């Protein structure tokens, strides 16, 4: 039975009356009253998650009959348990890492979107400022020659043409 032990995993051998014959020293020779001990002799093989008498939650696997070589099972059952916090530690770490990476990706995406919005806004801002300046003073500085977008370039050319037309009308 000792060969079945692994770090963090307890193997308990139960008699027919739920007394622990082999296992952790704090439960040896004690009768278990947890649900998995009651179910161990009645089910084929099962898995449960429950709180044990030490106040900790464990994942438990029940094996209803245990035999070795030619020996009969004597009505003994086997329980294999692992502390739920220990079992779920790697999953919690994975979830924590996921949310950290997700949050960092969201921040990077927002920064990139802000940069893209600024890149899109610049020619439109320059064109609207040039149009407002032309309305106030047709002789103001000509609009910036936009080349970033076809539509912005066309609007820039149209504003320049409109400004030159307005200047031609107001000059003697």
| pLDDT mean for each 10 residues of the chain (172 residues) | 73 79 79 70 67 81 67 72 86 95 97 94 88 82 82 86 78 59
Q: Model's pTM, two decimal places?
A: 0.53
Angle 115-121-125 from CA coordinates, rounded to 5°: 145
Cβ proximity of 147 and 153 under 8 Å = yes
Cα 96 to chain centroid, rounded: 7
How far is Cα 139 from Cα 137, in angstroms, rounded to an integer? 5
pLDDT confidence of residue 171? 61
pLDDT confidence of residue 35? 67
């Amino acid at each position: 039975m000792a060969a079945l032990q692994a770090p963090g995993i307890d193997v308990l051998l139960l008699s027919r009356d739920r007394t622990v014959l082999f296992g952790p020293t704090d439960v040896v020779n004690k009768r278990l009253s947890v649900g998995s001990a009651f179910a161990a002799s009645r089910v084929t093989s099962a898995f449960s998650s429950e709180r044990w008498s030490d106040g900790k939650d464990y994942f438990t696997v029940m094996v209803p009959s245990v035999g070795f070589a030619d020996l009969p099972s004597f009505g003994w059952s086997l329980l294999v348990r692992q502390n739920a916090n220990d079992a779920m530690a790697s999953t919690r770490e994975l979830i924590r890492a996921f949310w950290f990476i997700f949050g960092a990706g969201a921040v990077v995406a927002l920064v990139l979107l802000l940069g893209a919005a600024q890149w899109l806004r610049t020619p439109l801002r320059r064109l609207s400022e040039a149009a407002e300046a032309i309305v106030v003073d047709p002789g103001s500085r000509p609009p910036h020659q936009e080349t970033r977008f076809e539509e912005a370039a066309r609007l820039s050319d149209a504003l320049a043409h409109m400004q030159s037309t307005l200047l031609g009308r107001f000059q003697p």
